[in-house]
Amino acid sequence: MAQVTQKKGRGRKIVGILALLFVLLGLYFGLIKAPPDAYQGEVQRIMYLHIPSILTAYLSFFIVFVGSCLFLWKREKRDDILASSAAEIGVLFTGLTIIEGSIWGKPTWGVWWTWDARLTLTAILCLIFVGYLMLRSLIEDETRGAVCSAVLGIIGFLDIPLIHMSVYWWRTLHQPPSILRPDKTPWENIHPSMLIALAINFVAFILLYFYLLSLRFRLGEMKEEVKTSKLYGGAS
Amino acid sequence: MELLRQTFWLLWKDLLLELRRRESILAMFFFGTLLLFVFHFAFEIPAERAAEMAPGLLWLAFIFTGTLGLTQLFQAERENHCLEALLLGPMDRAGLYLAKVSFNLFLMLLVELTVFPLFWVLFNLAFWELLPSLFLVALLGTIGFCVLGTLFSAVTLKARARELLLPLILFPLMIPVILATVRGMEIVFRTGQFEEALPWLRLLLGFDVIFLTAGFLVFEWVIEA
C-alpha cells in the first residue's frame, strides 16, 4: 500500500514538474515568440490562456459526469472523490475563463460583460457547479451527499446542450471559432507561431489540470483514510 | 398499469391532505398575487408596456411561487418519519416521483389559472382571446419546472438550509425553460399565433421529455439514499 502511494506520488511530482515547464514555455511562446495580432494587437495574447482554460473546464465537467455515472453504478467512494475534485477545479477554471474573457472584452468589445450566448453559457455552467459544491457541503449524511451530487452532476451535464441551444437562439455576438473551421485547415487560419503557442499552452493547462486533480483526489482519499482510522480506533 | 394505479393513489393522498389543510395552495396563490403588486411598485408598468413585459413578469411570478410549492412538497413526508413508512410499502419509487410531479403541477396550474386573468385585470390588458394559447406555452414550461423541481426537492430533502439551496441549484438548470417559455409567450403575444414560437415549444417539449425520463430513472436512488 505504502509503495503504491509512493509510486503515485512520484508520478504526480513528474506531472507537476512537466506542468511547470510547459507553463513557462507557454508563457515564453505566448508573450514573446508569437507575433501580436494584426487587428487586436497585444491584447489578443490572452487567447493563449483563454482557450486552454475553457477547454480544460469543459473536460472537467465531463469528468464530473463520468465520475457521477460510475459512482451511481458501482457505488465506489473513489468515483465520488473524483467527481467532486473535478467539480472544484472545473469551477476554478471556468471562473478564470470568465475573468480572462472580461479583461479581453473590455478593450476589444468595449464592455466587461455582454449577454452573448457563449458568455452566458459559461456563466451558467459555473453557477450549476457552484450549486453542486454547495449541495455537497450542505448534506451531512455522506452517502446521501454523494448520491445527490452525482444526480446533480448527471442532470447538469444533460442540461448543457439544452442551455446551449436556448442561449444561442436567444443571441449571439461572440465570434465563431476562428481556428477550427470546416472550410479550412487550422494552419490556414492562424499564423504557425500562434498555433504553436496555443498548442503549448494547451498542453500546459492539461498537465496543470491533471496535477491539480490528482492532488485534490489524494486529499479526498486522505480525508477518507483519516475517517476510517478514527472509526477503528486509530489502528490503520 | 400497476405503476399508474400506485401513482394515482399517492397523488390522491397528497390531494386529500392538501384539501384538508390548504396550506400550499393558499400560500402559493397569495404569494403570486403579492408578486404582481410588487412588480407594479417596482416597475410602475404603464398599460401600453404591460403586454411586452407580461411574459417575463408572469413567468417570474410562476417560478417564485413554484419554488415556494417545491420547498413544501415533501413536508408531509418529513414529519414523523412518514417518508420511511411510505418507502416500506411495496411500491415502485418512480410512482412516488410521478405522483409528486403531478401534484406540484396541479398546484402550479391552479395558481396560473388564477394569476393569468388577474394580471390582465390589474394591468388593463386587452387581448383576452390570447389567454388560452399563452396558457398552453406556460403549461409546457410548468411541466419542465415541476419535472426537475420535484427531483431536486427530493435531492435537498435532508440538506441543511434546504429552502435556500433548492433555488440555488434549480434556477441555473432551469435557464432553457425560462428562456423558452418567456420567448415563446412573447412571440404568441406579438403575432397571435404559434408558428414562430414552434422552435421554442419544441425545445420545451424536449426538456420535459428528457428530464421526466431522467427523473423517473434516478429518483429511486435519491429517495432511498
How much is the pLDDT for B172?
94
Cα end-to-end span (Å), chain A: 12
- Residue-wise pLDDT tens digits, B81-128: 888 888 888 888 899 999 999 999 999 999 999 998 998 888 888 778
Cα A7 from chain centre: 26
Q: Chain A contacts of B206, Cβ < 8 Å? A: 162
Q: Please list, residue by residue across A121-158, b when 16 or more beta carbons sit within 10 angstroms of its beta carbon and e when fewer do.
A: bbbbbbbbbbbbebbbebbeeeebbbbbbbbbbbbbbb
pLDDT above 80: residue B58:
yes
How much is the pLDDT for A174?
55
- Lowest-pLDDT range, A117-121, B9-13, B141-145? A117-121
| B121/B5 Cα distance (integer angstroms) | 41
- Structural domain boundaries in chain A: 15-29+50-175+193-231
pLDDT above 50: residue B152:
yes
Q: Is A37 helix (H, G, I), strand (E, B) or coil?
A: strand
- Contact present, B218 and B88 (Cβ < 8 Å): no
* Chain A contacts to B (CB-CB under 8 A): 72, 124, 127-128, 130-132, 134-135, 138-141, 143-144, 147-148, 151-152, 154-156, 158-159, 162-163, 165-167, 169-170
For B74-89, the DSSP string reads THHHHGGGHHHHHHHS
Q: Between helices B47-72 and B131-155, what is the axis angle to 10°?
A: 30
Mean pLDDT calculated for residue range B44-62: 86
Residues in chain A where the model's pLDDT stays below 50: 173, 236
**For A37, phi and psi rounded to 5 degrees?**
-70, 145
B13–chain A Cβ distance below 8 A for any pair: no
How much is the pLDDT for B72?
87
How much is the pLDDT for A209?
94
- Contact present, B69 and B142 (Cβ < 8 Å): no
What confidence category does residue B189 fall into, taking pLDDT thresholds of 50, 70 and 90? confident
Q: For chain B, where are the E strands, in sequence order?
A: none
Nearest chain B residue to A164 by CA distance is B176
| A18/A206 Cα distance (integer angstroms) | 11
Cβ-Cβ pairs closer than 8 A, A with B, add up to 91
Nearest chain B residue to A68 by CA distance is B218
Question: How far B225 CA sits from the closest chain A CA (Å)?
Answer: 5
How much is the pLDDT for A236?
46
Task: Answer whether 0.90 is exceeded by the pTM.
Answer: no
How much is the pLDDT for A3?
66
Instruction: Answer yes or no: do B179 and A165 touch at CB < 8 A.
Output: no
**For A41, phi and psi rounded to 5 degrees?**
75, -150
Closest CA to A191 of A35, A47, A44, A42: A35
**For A234, phi and psi rounded to 5 degrees?**
80, -5
The residues pairing with A41 across neighbouring beta strands, listed in sequence order, are A37
B206–chain A Cβ distance below 8 A for any pair: yes
User: What is this model's ipTM?
Assistant: 0.88
